[in-house]
Amino acid sequence: MTAVEQATHWRGRTAVLALGTFAVGTDAFVIAGVLPAIAGSLGVSLAAAGQLVTVFSLAYALTAVPLGVLTADWPRRRALVVALAAFTVGNVLTALAPDYGLVLASRVIAAAGAALFTATASATAAALAGESHRGRAIAIVMLGITSSLILGAPLGTAIGTVADWRATIWFVTALGLVAAVLVWVLLPAIAAPAGSSGLRARLAPLTDRRVLGLLVRSVVIFVGVYLPYTYLSAVYAPATGERGELIALLLLGYGVAGTAGNLLAGTLADRVGPRRVILAATLALAAVFLAVPLARDAGLPIALLAVLVSGWLSFSITTPQQQELVALAPTAQSVATSLYQSAIYLAVSLSGVVGGLGLSLLGAAWLAPLAAVLVLAGGVMTTRTSRG
C-alpha cells in the first residue's frame, strides 16, 4: 500500500474493523439484559445463567494471548476473518443449544473469536493508519466497543423482549457475519509485521520489561476505573434513590461521554504523545473520584456531571495505552494487544472482588476514593514504565 493510499483509505477500512468490535462488544454486554429469559428457557437459576457472563470474560482473558501468539505471523485479514468465523460459529451454537451445558461451552468459542478479533483489529488499525494517525485509528476501533454499550446492548435486549433471547443471539450472529464479509472484501492484504515469524519473536513482548510494566499499570488503572462503574448503583444511591430509570440515565451518560472521550484521546495522543494524555487523564480522574463522596450527596444533576466527566476521562486512557503498546512491540503487535486485552479483562474481574471487599469494609461512599488511589498509582507508574 502506498503512502497516498494509506492516507486516503485508512478511516473507511478502520470503520470496518469498528463494526467487528461493535459485534463483539454487543455480545459481551447483551447477555446481562436477557439473563432472566435465558434462565427460564434453560430451566436454571438466575445465578447459574449469570455464569455465562463469567465464562465469556474468563475465556476471553485466557485465550487472547495464546491465539495472538498462534496467529502472529498470519496475514492480518486472514486472522480477522478466522476470528469472526469462530465468533459467529460460537453464537450460532448458543442460539441452537438445547441445554445449559452446551450454551456454556458455546460461550467459550464465541469469546475466543472475540478476543482474537479485538486484539488483531487494534494492531491492524495501527498498521493501516501509520504512525502519524495511529491513535485516531485505534480510537475508531474502540468506538465499536463503546457504541455497543450505548446502542448494541439495549437494541439486543429489546429484540429479546419482543421475541426471545435466542433472537438476540441471532442478531449478534448477523452482526459478526456481516463484519466478516466486509473485512474480507474491503480490507487490503496486510502481511504480518516483519520479524514476527518464529516462536521467540512472537513471545518477545513477554520478556520486555517496558511492555510488562505497561500491562501491570493497565491492570492497576482499570481496576480503579471499573470499581465505581461496577458498583455505580450503590455509589450514587443517595442521588438516584436506587430508581432503575435514574441509574440507567447515569449509565447512558457514562457511555456517551466515554465514546466522546475515546475519540478525542486518540487525536490528542497523535499530537502530543500517548504518555501525556495518560498522565493528564489519570490525574484528572483521580481528582474526580475524590470528589464523588460530595457529588453523590449533592443531588442528581451533580451526580450526573460526575459520571459524565469520569466516563470521559476513563475512556481517554485505553486508546493511548494501546498506542504506546504497539510502539513498544513493533514486530509482535498482535501478541502485545492480546496481552492488553487479557489485562483489561483481568482488571474487570478484580474490580468486582476489590469493590465487593471495599463495599463491605468501607461502605459505598469510599469506593470512588479507593478507585482514586489506584488510578493515581497507575499515573505514577506511567512516569516509570513509559519511554519518553
Whether this model's pTM surpasses 0.85: no
Rounded to whole angstroms, the Cα distance separating 138 from 160 reads 31
Above 50 in pLDDT, residue 2? Answer: no
Residue 60: per-residue pLDDT: 86
Under 8 Å between Cβ of 375 and 98:
no
Cα distances from 96 to residues 166, 170, 331, in angstroms, run 8, 9, 40
In whole numbers, what is the pLDDT of the chain averaged over residues? Answer: 83
**Cα angle 381, 387, 388; round to 5:** 110
Catalogue all structural domains in the chain, each as residue range(s) with its CATH number.
3-192 (1.20.1250.20), 200-385 (1.20.1250.20)
30-34, 72-76, 167-171, range with the lowest pLDDT = 30-34
Confidence label for 78 from pLDDT (cuts 50, 70 and 90):
very high
Confidence label for 132 from pLDDT (cuts 50, 70 and 90):
low
Confidence label for 173 from pLDDT (cuts 50, 70 and 90):
very high
77-86, 215-224, 265-274, 372-381, range with the lowest pLDDT = 265-274
Q: Which three cell numbers stand for residue 320?
A: 493511548
75-84, 128-137, 233-242, range with the lowest pLDDT = 128-137
Residue 201: per-residue pLDDT: 56
- Single out the residue of 375, 376, 16 nearest to residue 190, CA to CA: 16
> Nearest 10 degrees: CA dihedral of 346, 351, 352, 357?
130
**Ranges of H-type helices in the chain:** 3-30, 35-42, 46-70, 76-96, 100-129, 134-147, 153-162, 165-186, 199-202, 209-230, 232-235, 237-240, 244-272, 274-295, 300-328, 333-361, 367-385
76-90, 239-253, 328-342, range with the lowest pLDDT = 328-342
294 or 229, which is more confident: 294
Share of the chain above pLDDT 70, in %: 91
Confidence label for 305 from pLDDT (cuts 50, 70 and 90):
very high
Mean pLDDT of 341-351: 80
